[in-house]
Amino acid sequence: MRAKILSSTSSFKGVTYNTNKTQNEKGELMRLLNFGYLQDTKEIGPNEVKNFLIAHSNRNSIVRDKQFHAMISCKEREYIKEELTDIAHEWVDKMGYGQNPFLIVFHKDTANNHVHIVSSRIDKEGKKINDSFEKIRAQEAINEIMRLNPKQEANRTTDALQEFRFSTKAQGMMLLENLGYKLKETNQQLELIKYGSVQGRIPISEINQKLKSYVLDKTRANQLKAILDKYSKIYKTDPIPLFEPKHGSVSAKHLGYRSDLGDFLSAKFGVQLIFHGKDAKTPYGYSLIDNANKIVFKGSEVFPIKRLLEAEGKQQEFQTDKSKAINLIEGKVKLRSAFNDFSTIQQGLEHHSLRFDRREGDTYLNTSQGILSTKDILQSKQLQALDEYLALSEEHSSGQSQDEFDLIPILHVANDEDDEAAHGRKRRKKRNGDNEITR
């Protein structure tokens, strides 16, 4: 999950940019808050929103560029629009703009789901909202919401890199970049940069040592060759360029490629197909990351790229299986959503297709990255309710009545009377009050 502060202007061009998206059916207005008399208007045009923000901002005659414009994006379709909206709303509160008029617009026209937030840098008292180190604070706020520890994440990444076999330094760097890191070589070390700062370092000597021990696994290479030969005749192999979301007149940055064949290989075999090319032109090569066997192959070691791209019978698209295992972060968000966004626990857990293990009296959430203790996610009363639900679920499978099964209530975070929970309750009431317009 990434948060990015976009350019400030004096004319609130961010409103026009986002309303154009909604009018072209490439975006959707998800939330409009603190717009006073406009809240009760059934149809609000972009000019009315802009004029309201300008009038609000005119409380301060010193600050010139008064627009606050930001974007929060996830990887591909990892989060749906409602989840991104709730995350963005909490982020707006943490950044100090929660009492200001603001709108949240969901965009679906790029490879990555994302939302835009537009507000004013001027508060209701006419003072400029603190923007010191805001680019760093923006990502820190997202990390806090998602309960990420970037340093620990980098340490786990370093350990995971040691488990892989690869033949070039570029392949090792590709593994790290594929996990979202920007890399910089400094003083014989590879710096792992994420969220705007260095999160870890790997000595170049460690990578070079791994290269010396590399031996091509010909058996696995032949297996992958057979897989590519078979499925390249079934699924589309065309590399589709992916771009970073475009803002204003800024040219969209080419990020890489995807293909239906690649989506299939990842879902079916845990093999990532990474095309290599520049400026969205036809790729000149590719690599295979075999996650199951912890090996990185050069495409030329397995299957010629010319044959791959010219394979016959490329009619079929691959439909991603929505029931696939969720990752750790997604699991946390969906488990909290099951308790806060549905009338019964059963509805929430079934909607998100969550699966659990019960071991030695504790309950664990199953994810694609391993099990996660529910104690790290839920509060005590919620844990008790979940245990009761799972126990009744087991009894139901043995013949308990459905009526009793459906009556298990949701215990919201706000039921715990501590300061943080009380604050959360007030925030939810405010979000769901009469002054909120959602579309």
- The string of pLDDT tens digits covering residues 126-181 is 999 999 999 989 998 988 887 766 787 888 889 889 999 999 999 999 999 888 78
In this model, does residue 386 exceed pLDDT 90?
no
Which tops the pLDDT comparison, 346 or 234?
234
Q: Roughly what angle, to the nearest 10 degrees, separates helices 169-178 and 204-212? A: 120
pLDDT, residue 312, reads 63
Flag the least confident range among 118-122, 228-232, 362-366.
362-366
Which tops the pLDDT comparison, 361 or 306?
306
Residues 6+ apart with CB under 8 A from 196: 135, 136, 139
Q: How deeply is 200 buried, as exposed, middle or buried, from its count of CB atoms within 10 A (0-12, 13-18, 19+)?
A: buried
In DSSP terms, which residues pair with 273 in a beta bridge?
288
pLDDT, residue 66, reads 93
In this model, does residue 205 exceed pLDDT 80?
yes
The letter for the amino acid at 396 is H
Distance between CA atoms of residues 68 and 20, nearest Å: 18
Residue 113: count other Cβ atoms within 10 Å of its Cβ: 20
Distance of CA 397 to the CA centre of its chain: 35
Distance between CA atoms of residues 73 and 245, nearest Å: 9
pLDDT, residue 409, reads 33
In this model, does residue 118 exceed pLDDT 80?
yes
Tell me which residue of 75, 119, 127 sits closest to 95, measured CA to CA: 119
- Residue 130 corresponds to which tokens in the numbers above? 């603190």
In this model, does residue 407 exceed pLDDT 60?
no
In this model, does residue 382 exceed pLDDT 80?
yes
In this model, does residue 7 exceed pLDDT 90?
no
* List of long-range contacts for 6-9, beta carbons under 8 Å, 24+ apart: 6/69, 6/70, 6/71, 6/116, 6/247, 7/69, 7/247, 7/248, 8/65, 8/66, 8/67, 8/68, 8/69, 8/121, 9/65, 9/67, 9/69
Flag the least confident range among 13-27, 195-209, 237-251, 267-281.
237-251
Q: How deeply is 48 buried, as exposed, middle or buried, from its count of CB atoms within 10 A (0-12, 13-18, 19+)?
A: middle
- Residue 280 corresponds to which tokens in the numbers above? 């969205």
What is the band of 117 on the pLDDT scale with cuts at 50, 70, 90? Answer: very high
The residue written with tokens 């072209």 in the block is: 24
359-364 mean pLDDT: 75
β-strand 189-194 against 197-203: which pairing, if any? antiparallel
Phi/psi at 172 (nearest 5 deg)? -60, -40
Q: Which of 220-224, 288-292, 308-312, 314-318 has the highest mean pLDDT?
A: 220-224
pLDDT, residue 365, reads 84
204-210 mean pLDDT: 93
Asked if 116 and 89 touch (Cβ cutoff 8 Å), the reply is no
pLDDT, residue 155, reads 86
Flag the least confident range among 25-34, 38-47, 125-134, 231-240.
38-47
Asked if 228 and 183 touch (Cβ cutoff 8 Å), the reply is no
pLDDT, residue 109, reads 79
Which tops the pLDDT comparison, 65 or 79?
65
386-413 mean pLDDT: 50
pLDDT, residue 380, reads 80
Which tops the pLDDT comparison, 419 or 306?
306
In this model, does residue 371 exceed pLDDT 90?
no
In DSSP terms, which residues pair with 357 in a beta bridge?
364
pLDDT, residue 250, reads 53
In this model, does residue 327 exceed pLDDT 70?
no
Q: What mean pLDDT is reported for the chain? A: 80
Q: How deeply is 117 buried, as exposed, middle or buried, from its count of CB atoms within 10 A (0-12, 13-18, 19+)?
A: buried
74-103 mean pLDDT: 90
Residues 6+ apart with CB under 8 A from 160: none
80-108 mean pLDDT: 91
23-52 mean pLDDT: 85
Share of the chain above pLDDT 70, in %: 80
In this model, does residue 27 exceed pLDDT 90?
no
pLDDT, residue 332, reads 76
232-236 mean pLDDT: 90
What is the band of 201 on the pLDDT scale with cuts at 50, 70, 90? Answer: very high
In this model, does residue 419 exceed pLDDT 50?
no
248-264 mean pLDDT: 77
Distance between CA atoms of residues 18 and 246, nearest Å: 12
pLDDT, residue 108, reads 80
Tell me which residue of 91, 150, 96 sits closest to 127, measured CA to CA: 96
In angstroms, the first-to-last Cα distance of the chain is 24
Which tops the pLDDT comparison, 30 or 342?
30
* List of long-range contacts for 237-240, beta carbons under 8 Å, 24+ apart: 237/261, 237/308, 237/309, 237/311, 237/314, 238/309, 238/314, 239/275, 239/277, 239/282, 239/283, 239/309
